[in-house]
Amino acid sequence: MFSRHPITPPICLLTLASLLMSPWGLARAGDAKAGEVIATQQCAACHGADGNSIAPTFPNLAGQIEGYIADQLMKMKLGQREVPQMTAFVANLSPEDMENLGAYYAQLQAKPAAIPESDVDAAQRGERLFRGGLENMQVAACMSCHGPGGLGVPQVYPRVANQHRDYLEQQLLAYKSGERESEGNIMNDIAFKLSAQQIKDLSAYMHALK
Ligand code: HEC
Ligand code: HEC
Report the residue count for the chain.
210
User: What is the pLDDT at residue 155?
Assistant: 83
CA distances from 43 to 96, 100, 177, 180, 199 (A): 16, 13, 28, 22, 28
Per-residue confidence (pLDDT) for residue 27, from 0 to 100: 55
Q: How far is the CA of 42 from the centre of ligand 2 (A)?
A: 27
User: How high is the pLDDT of residue 29?
Assistant: 80
Residue 210's pLDDT band (boundaries 50, 70, 90)? confident
pLDDT reading at 61 higher than 70: yes
- Residue 85 pLDDT > 60: yes
Contact residues of ligand 2, CB 6 A cut-off? 59, 129, 139-140, 142, 144-146, 157-158, 160, 168, 171-172, 182-183, 186-187, 190, 202
Give the pLDDT of residue 65: 97
Q: Give me the pLDDT at residue 176, please.
A: 98
Question: 63 and 52 in contact (C-beta within 8 Å)?
Answer: no
% of residues, the chain, pLDDT over 90: 82
Contact (CB, 8 A) for 203 and 126: yes
Please state which of the ranges 33-37, 132-136, 203-207 shows the lowest mean pLDDT. 132-136
Mean pLDDT over each residue of the chain, to the nearest integer? 89
Give the residue, by CA position, lying nearest to ligand 1 atom 29. Answer: 69
**Residue ranges around ligand 1 (CB below 6 Å):** 38, 42-43, 45-47, 57-59, 61, 69, 72-73, 83, 85-86, 89, 101, 158, 170
116-131 residues labelled b (16+ CB within 10 A) or e (exposed): eeebeebbebbbebbb
137-148: pLDDT as tens digits: 899 999 999 999
Instruction: Among 8-12, 58-62, 175-179, 206-210, name the one with the lowest average pLDDT.
Output: 8-12
* pLDDT at 203 (0 to 100): 98
Distance 199 CA to ligand 2 centre (A): 12
What is the mean predicted confidence (pLDDT) over 165-175? 98
Quick one: CA dihedral 40, 101, 81, 149, positive or negative?
Answer: negative
Q: What is the mean pLDDT of residues 67-71?
A: 97
Q: Once rounded to an integer, what is the mean pLDDT over residues 102-122? A: 95
CA-nearest of 134, 105, 129, 117 to 203 is 129
Distance 158 CA to ligand 2 centre (A): 7
Q: What is the pLDDT of residues 5-28, one digit of tens each?
A: 334 334 444 444 444 444 444 456
Ligand closest to 169 (CA) is 2
* Percentage of the residues of the chain whose pLDDT score is greater than 70: 87
> How close is the Cα of 153 to the center of ligand 1, in Å?
20
The residue-averaged pLDDT of 28-57 equals 95
